[in-house]
Amino acid sequence: MKNLAKQALIKQQNLGTSSHSSPQEQLTNGNDKGESPTRKVLQYGATAKRMAWTGVLAASLMLLPGVFGGTPVLAQQKTERNSLTYGELIQKTEKGEVKRVELDETEQVAKVYLRGQKPDTPPLQVRLLNQNTELINKLKAKNVDFGEISSANSRAAVGLLINLMWILPLVALMLLFLRRSTNASNQAMNFGKSRARFQMEAKTGVKFDDVAGIEEAKEELQEVVTFLKQPERFTAVGARIPKGVLLIGPPGTGKTLLAKAIAGEAGVPFFSISGSEFVEMFVGVGASRVRDLFKKAKDNAPCLIFIDEIDAVGRQRGAGIGGGNDEREQTLNQLLTEMDGFEGNTGIIIIAATNRPDVLDAALLRPGRFDRQVIVDAPDLKGRLEILKVHARNKKIDPSVSLDAIARRTPGFTGADLANLLNEAAILTARRRKEAITILEIDDAVDRVVAGMEGTALVDSKSKRLIAYHEVGHALIGTLLKDHDPVQKVTLIPRGQALGLTWFTPNEEQGLISRSQLKARITATLGGRAAEEIVFGKPEVTTGAGNDLQQVTGMARQMVTRFGMSELGPLSLENQSGEVFLGRDWMNKSEYSEEIAAKIDSQVREIINNCYIKAKELLQENRIALERLVDLLADEETIDGELFRKIVAEHTQVKDTYIAEEIVPVSY
């Protein structure tokens, strides 16, 4: 061994002295493939580290049986100290010092207990021979108690434990794969099950008292609740409750809230699902879910089923170029069959909501299916006031705030808009560290909801005065015209994409709009461009009136083609909705000739030109008021409607100004 070590040391010294280059040169010379020396060293280091860890792991696995099957070193040392030789055992037996002997033929070891030995002292171990006849005879002669024991069972147990340590990880891995495959199969089996949320007692937390502003719809739906609670009142006189109730209205008007109120009032099992949850990419899945939904509903009848956004599954069949979606149509067919097929669904009332009733299939709307259609429209003044009272219950509002004034200022707002309005006002109140919501927060919240977030105020410049002339032009003409809504506020504070805003608030609900009102709106909308042209000249007009021109063009065209308010007479030449629905409207051509189309364009141009000329005349006649209001607006940045009308009254004689009915020809 010493010679071998000496030879290895000599060889290492020879290798170390055989290279005459520096370490850097060795790295450079070894880089024969164009690689960086440092990178190559790191690669070798990483490879060596991986090989080292692999070796450690392999060695650990190889030593594992030895750990459990071998005898520890401490145990071996302890055994050597507590052992006897075979001859010493025979001598002690002859002397009568041996009390008991246990012979282990498997291990060829004898455990010896001596006389006078303490009870907790371990026995002495003696290595036996292949043939132990002399020892056995001596033990018999001295009447020493001896017997045979076997350690084969313990060895077998240790071997089984070692084998299990290799097998158990494999079994666990197999069970993991089996569990995943089972879950996948269960998902496949449940793919056609209904995904409707089910509540045995619908605790929605919403009652009819929490729904305001839509009293007519509430009265219609209270009959559904009464039928579910007291059906005998209807069956006694032969009445049959509608099987389906379709809630129709624009977004945010409270259709889903009404369904929650019905469920909360009725106290019956309640299923809720969206129309989009029926349709999948696999044909037949939607129909299977419909069947499963109605099966569960029949088991829990009487009950309610609420389908939100039913237009996702109830669109017209056969619509679209080249055919429709077979999966969606099969789902709709199954829904029609379940609602009114050969098998009845007594005790099941279906409530559906949509804001697109024009695209629903006719078979879905016939009597026997959705018998009753409830219109949930935007609330009127009284309805908005009731909605504001509901949403103001849990908010701290200053006593000076008038909910009636807020309701008057928010025409066209839905219930969701009003709820968002008060919530934005509460957020602004907390941000400004106030204890209660004031009218200032309400006004800012209305501006934010309608126009967007407030921007940075403009600095004094030509652009600021130009925007001031533009906004004052709108407000001044709207104040001078009798048929226009009164001005609520004029501001130069940017909001959203608008650099300035003019707000008009109607005095009363306007269900119908007259011809003079439409022309007054067109004239006031053109007042901004007219003010720019009068003050700065035609070369200096800006793009700020782009949105205004789109609005006036749309209003003028509707006057000609839909409302019959032109020289073409009382004709409706275009549909109310211009939305495209494949297979129905896309390929439709206009219902009038090219000659009529040219006359329509001419009438639209003449209406807009007439209103524009009237706007310029009014501004030129009231130039003093225009300049005074622009100076005030540039300084204050916001003018209230009352102050605006007061200044206009001081500088001009406000008369009942109408727009001339004669049409001024336009030359292009």
Query: What's this model's pTM, rounded to 2 decimal places?
Result: 0.63
73-150: what fold? 3.30.720
Domain ranges of the chain: 19-69, 73-150, 197-375, 381-451, 462-575+591-651
User: How many Å apart are CA 521 and CA 547, to the nearest integer?
Assistant: 14
Per-residue pLDDT reduced to its tens digit, 231-272: 788 878 887 777 888 999 888 888 888 888 887 887 778 888
Q: Please check whether residue 349 is in contact with residue 244, taking contact to mean a CB–CB distance below 8 angstroms.
A: yes
User: How many Å apart are CA 608 and CA 549, to the nearest integer?
Assistant: 9
Asked if the 462-575+591-651 domain carries CATH number 1.20.58.760, the reply is: yes
**Which stretches in the chain have pLDDT values below 50?**
1-80, 185, 187-189, 191, 321-324, 578-587, 654-668
Q: Please check whether residue 311 is in contact with residue 356, taking contact to mean a CB–CB distance below 8 angstroms.
A: yes
Question: Strand 270-274 and strand 197-199: pairing?
Answer: antiparallel
pLDDT at 531: 94
197-375: what fold? Rossmann fold (3.40.50)
Cβ neighbours of 46 (radius 10 Å): 10
Catalytic machinery residues:
471
User: How many Å apart are CA 637 and CA 625, to the nearest integer?
Assistant: 17
Q: Which amino acid is it at 431?
A: R
Q: Which amino acid is it at 382?
A: K
User: How many Å apart are CA 556 and CA 666, to the nearest integer?
Assistant: 15
Per-residue pLDDT reduced to its tens digit, 339-351: 876 566 567 888 8
User: How many Å apart are CA 463 and CA 469, to the nearest integer?
Assistant: 10
Q: Please check whether residue 523 is in contact with residue 552, taking contact to mean a CB–CB distance below 8 angstroms.
A: no
- Among 3.40.30.10, 1.10.8.60, 3.20.20.70, 3.40.50.12280, what is the CATH number of 381-451? 1.10.8.60
- 3-state secondary structure at position 661: coil
User: How many Å apart are CA 164 and CA 398, to the nearest integer?
Assistant: 77
Burial status of residue 512 (CB atoms within 10 A of its CB: 0-12, 13-18, 19 or more): exposed
Q: Please check whether residue 219 is in contact with residue 372, taking contact to mean a CB–CB distance below 8 angstroms.
A: no
Nearest to 280, CA basis, from 334, 316, 326: 326
